[in-house]
Amino acid sequence: MDRDEPRPKRGTWWRVLHRVSSVADALAAPSRGCASHLVSMPTGQRRLHIDTKAMVALLLTFSAGCVDVIGYLALYHAFTAHMTGETVHLALNIFEERWFQVIKAGGVIAAFLTGSIVGRVVIEVGARRRIRSIASATLLAEAALIASVIPLAARPHISPSLGLGLLAMLAFAMGLQTATLTRIGSLTVHTTFVTGMLNKLAQLLSQAVFLTYDNFRGKNETDHRRRVLREARFITSIWLLYWIGAVTGVWLDTSWGLKSLLVPAVVVASGILMDQAWPLSLEEEREEP
């Protein structure tokens, strides 16, 4: 490390992160897909940046699993983060002429899409104006939407129109989250749905098999194989945190119902604190030309 290079502070959070994923070792080296500002960072600063994004990604993934299952159990069995499921529900309900269910599924999909568009617009504006903590804006909006559902749902009876509105709020929040953090170094991540993550995991594991075979045949692919396995471990942790969030949501819902949404709201808010302390600097979230 250069003498003038700021030495990142390593506390308990970072030690826990490395035990869970070791993603920094795998992604700290810049790659062709990384934004130029990330490539130009000193090694220690780039490593801290990736560490922070990895931790926030895990927190957001836990929150999404929690929100998805609480919304499903408490509000008409609708997914607010899993749009594949809602797309299937939309088709099925149109065929069966269940028009309230059609409106519900279509509204959730529209709200999720709108939230994602708004999130991408905010990220683009932040990147153009070089606002390093722009993630705080989208995460604050997400946490506020999730938390706002609690008092609105406190009425003795939730009318159908109010129920649809609450679902739309949660889906919009999940759309915001989807757009907020999509890359950690060269690795694409999704924090609100895990189908793509499982597909990526399968690709990495199959690649690791071939790299192991190449090593056996005498090619020196040890470093490459180690990097692939570390990425696979982080992807596995994304899936695991989503599952843990869902399990937590089921457990909380049995006692608190929609009040359980306070937990994921607080978790998202912790991401804001991390972004203020160690800016996520989401310029690399922009689509490369």
The string of pLDDT tens digits covering residues 121-133 is: 999 998 888 888 8
For residue 276, give every residue at least 6 positions away whose Cβ sits within 8 Å of its Cβ, in sequence order, or none. Answer: 133, 136
| pLDDT value of residue 283 | 56
Report how far Cα 145 is from the mean position of its chain's Cα atoms.
Answer: 16
Q: Using one digit for the tens of pLDDT, what is the confidence trace for 31-64?
A: 444 444 454 556 667 778 788 899 999 999 999 9
| pLDDT value of residue 282 | 61
| pLDDT value of residue 114 | 98
Which domains, from first to last, does the chain contain? 12-285 (1.20.1250)
State mean pLDDT over 127-152.
94
> Averaging pLDDT over each range in 19-23, 39-43, 189-193, 278-282, which range is the top one?
189-193
What's the predicted TM-score (pTM) here?
0.83
More confident residue, 188 or 94: 94
Residue with tokens 């990895």: 54
- φ, ψ for residue 28 (rounded to 5)? -65, -30
- Residue 84's identity, in one-letter code, is T
Mutual angle of helices 262-277 and 43-74, in 10-degree steps: 170
| pLDDT value of residue 188 | 87
| pLDDT value of residue 2 | 42
pLDDT more than 70, % of the chain: 82
Q: What is the residue-wise DSSP string for 86-104?
A: HHHHHHHHHHTT-HHHHHH
**Is the per-residue pLDDT at 204 higher than 80?**
yes
Which tokens go with 231? 């990425």
Distances, alpha carbon 215 to alpha carbons 21, 52, 70, 207, 230, in Å: 24, 33, 47, 12, 17
For residue 49, give every residue at least 6 positions away whose Cβ sits within 8 Å of its Cβ, in sequence order, or none. Answer: 38, 41, 278, 280, 281
